[in-house]
Amino acid sequence: MDAIMVLLLILVPGLPLAWALALVCRSWRSVFLRLAPWTVLPGMLAAMPFADGTVLQVPWLLLGARLGLDPVGRVFLGVSAFSWLVAGIYAQRSLAMDPRRSRFFFFYLLTASGNLGIIVVQDLASFYLFFTLMSLAFYALIIHDGTPGARRAGRVYISLAIIGEALLYAGFTLLARRAGTLDLPAVAVPAGEAAFALLFLGFGIKAGSLPLHVWMPLVYRHAPIAAAVVSSGALINAGLLGWLRFLPLGQEAQPELGLLYLTAGLAAAFYGVMVGLTQTEPKSLLAYSSISQMGLMTVPVGIGLAAPAAWPLALAAVLVYVVHHALAKGALFLGVGLAAANGGPDRRRLLSVGLLLPALALAGMPLTSGAIAKLALKQAAAAWPVSWIGWLELLLSLTAVGTTLLMVRFLFLFRAHPSGRTNLEKGLSMPWGISLAAVAAAPVLWPSLAVASLDPAKLWSAFWPVGLGALIGGGAAALAGRTGTRMPVRIPAGDILLPVERGGRSLVAAWAALAERRPASFWPRALPAGLAGHDRWLRLEARLRQWFVAGLLFLAITAALLLALPDP
């Protein structure tokens, strides 16, 4: 069994990476493209409860790579591999006539390799390498359609991703120096406020924490549906996994840091609801729903930092939320994609019935995975011995009301959104059906919590927020349908990014105007007056922007950063 597990650990990141390289072969490309979605199957097999604790040492790789899987990694690996599988099956059919399909799957496989790789690696250097691969390769999936909106979303995403990589490198260096090793989880030691701040920001960008969330609404709206599915079901979980791997959870109490995570999580939970309700496009609304749900997942991390004794229950809540959110959000995105491909009014009504299940699950309806997730979170909160815990439980119930309002708004927008006519519904229905079945079967993964949720008091606690949200949302939708009124406030996707962009453009314009007023002698003599010869710099920049040159520079910079890591 250990030999099988070792082989699976190698194949989890190795098979998608090798498959991406195999796409270079033109003669066999069609075969490799047909099988590309199934390269994540080793991840699903490794997530089975075989042999936790198996570790593979690779001393010649990087600074001494280690591969292994623990119970936390198994949960993340299983749900991430599932998201990549259904997204890949969907992409095969939706991009069947796309001449850029090979390019899409090349970066799809690279991103999958990085995403699954960070789950199975057990050393800091390998984690950073796979995290960087995942972050940078995903950019190509975002801009695949080549529309202005997709390119803008890509620019915002890659800017924040590069900032995040720099923050994480600095934070990892501090952790490694403090711990004296690169092995996980030995590096998860209290390393001072600077390291905590770097990890919070670096991983917070990927997790969509406020105010680092601005890339999510743009990416979810403009990226292909398959990219949105893996982003909501796998990539944003990478930020959460980073916190679990590198924060001293369950160790020494960090009350101030725990309160920071708790406050940030609740702020994101309510902010996502408030801004999401103003959206006029289903995918943008789902992005703000993800921001809200990731905020709820941040709350138990704060509990684990502030009260180490409550960490086992808090960890259970995190894991339930990871699976629940990934499955439900993936089903919602696939339903949106199916309707956009071929969904007239009658077809949309039928699809909206199918979308009720994941929507109610996200809202926390009893007998769904959402109710189990909220029960697990409230149990973790109750284990935190603070006087104001009752207020926290009330706030969690109010977030369920807000999520229900979001789902009512989503279904309303889904029914009203324009439909496509590409005759792809047959091929696209299978991944959506698989996702719906997974959402329906999810409660059986936690039998003890499922049984506990059937207690009458627990049923009422789960039902009243959903009922109240449905009553308010349904009444508002009916009133809007009769009177023709619209949402009084509309916040564009990206919200706070817009004033930041306007301010940046104003500064650039002011600097350009100032430069034009300067005399020619202001510029160094090495450059001709008025920056003559600027075209030479443009030619140099164009050459540096070529994929091959940029890739070589990226590898060189990555090697330099790895060499700069402190010796263990």
- The CA-to-CA distance between both ends of the chain, in Å, stands at 31
Q: What integer pLDDT is reported at residue 344 of this predicted model?
A: 63
3-state secondary structure of 56: strand
- Asked if residue 333 has pLDDT above 60, the reply is yes
Return the pLDDT at 525: 46
Which pLDDT belongs to residue 188?
73
- 501 located within any domain: no
Instruction: For residue 19, count CB atoms less than 10 angstroms from its CB and return exposed for 0-12, middle for 13-18, buried for 19 or more.
Output: buried
Does the structure show a pLDDT above 70 at 325? yes
Q: 380-412, pLDDT tens digit by residue?
A: 888 877 766 678 888 888 999 999 999 999 998
pLDDT digits (tens, 9 = 90+) for 239-250: 999 999 998 888
153 inside domain: yes
* Residue 557 maps to a domain: no
Res 61: pLDDT = 72
Tell me whether residue 255 is in a domain: yes
Asked if residue 543 belongs to a domain, the reply is no
Q: How far apart are CA 22 and CA 34, in angstroms?
A: 13
| Phi, psi of 474, rounded to the nearest 5 degrees | -65, -40
Mind listing the pLDDT tens digit for each residue in 45-94?
998 876 566 777 777 777 778 888 889 999 999 999 999 999 999 999 88
CA distances to 135, 292, 403, 461 from 397, rounded to whole Å, are: 34, 13, 10, 8
* pTM of the complete model beyond 0.85: yes
- Residue 522: the pLDDT is 42
β-partners of residue 36 are none
Locus of tokens 């902010």? 271
Q: Are 405 and 473 in contact (CB under 8 A)?
A: yes
Whole-number pLDDT of residue 530? 45
The answer to whether residue 68 sits within a structural domain is yes
- In the chain, the number of structural domains is 1
Tokens 């098979």 correspond to what residue? Answer: 15
pLDDT of residue 528: 46
Q: Which amino acid is at 200?
A: F
DSSP assignment of 150-218, as one string? Answer: HHHHHHHHHHHHHHHHHHHHHHHHHHHHHHT--BTTTT-S---HHHHHHHHHHHHHHHT-TTS-THHHH
Burial of residue 523, with CB atoms counted within 10 A of its CB: 0-12 exposed, 13-18 middle, 19 or more buried: middle
Range of the domain at 427: 2-483
Cα dist from 513 to 505, 506, 510, 518, 548, whole Å: 12, 11, 5, 9, 36
Residue 516 inside a domain? The answer is no
Q: What is the DSSP string of 323-369?
A: HHHHHHHHHHHHHHHHHHHB--HHHHHHHHHHHHHHHHHHHT-TTSH
pLDDT of residue 167 exceeding 70, the answer is yes
Q: Is residue 144 part of a domain?
A: yes
Identify whether the C-beta of residue 54 lies closer than 8 Å to the C-beta of residue 5: yes
